[in-house]
Amino acid sequence: MGEALFYVPEQRIVHFDLKGAPPKIDYLLRMIKWIKDGGATGVLLEYEDMFPFSGKLNGISAVNRYNVSDIVNVINTCHHLGLEVIPLVQTFGHMEFILKHEKFSHLRDTSDMPESICACHEEAMDLITDYIDQVLLIVIL
């Protein structure tokens, strides 16, 4: 019999879902190094309320959120290891971490369900743009 052939995709992205029960930064950095050693080529970072939002989005972050230097440290570590960084930014759907707050509840697609933003609301695109801008600004620092 011949050798077994295994498919190894060119891109091997690991999704880090940081909401809910996020790891401490030192543990996250160890995990990132571990996945690189295991063959990963990139990380997908899903922050949601663990991101240190400011400005209009101030107040939506969790009490135990990461700070800016934590996020920069994670991104710099990824870049140093040659890992691609892909920030996962929820838009339109899966925005309950923002829309559950009273100051943004008027933007819900359905008033009693905070999952989705009403794309027709005149403030919706400003909110989404601000969200994306804040997350991407740290990626390019």
Q: Which range of residues forms the domain containing residue 131?
A: 13-139
Digit-coded pLDDT (tens) for 69-117: 999 999 999 999 999 999 999 888 899 999 999 999 999 999 999 999 9
User: pLDDT tens, 13-41?
Assistant: 999 999 888 999 999 999 999 999 999 99
Q: What is the pLDDT of residue 141?
A: 63
Number of structural domains found in the chain: 1
Helices (H), the chain: 25-37, 68-81, 96-99, 124-139
Bigger pLDDT: 84 vs 6: 84
Residue 79 lies in a domain: yes
* The pLDDT of residue 139: 75
Angle, helices 25-37 vs 68-81, to 10°: value is 10
- Single pTM value for the model: 0.88
Residue 48, Ramachandran bin (φ over 0: left; ψ between -120 and 50: alpha; else beta): left
Contact yes or no for 80/43 (Cβ under 8 A): no
Is residue 3 predicted with pLDDT exceeding 90? no
Predicted pLDDT at 111: 92
The enclosing domain of 129 has a CATH number of 3.20.20.80
| Within-domain flag for 4 | no
The token duo for 115 is 């999952």
Position 26: which residue type?
D
* pLDDT score of 1: 58
From the list 72, 118, 120, the residue with the least C-alpha distance to 92 is 118
For the chain, how many residues are written? Answer: 141
Q: What is the pLDDT, as a whole number, of residue 42? A: 98
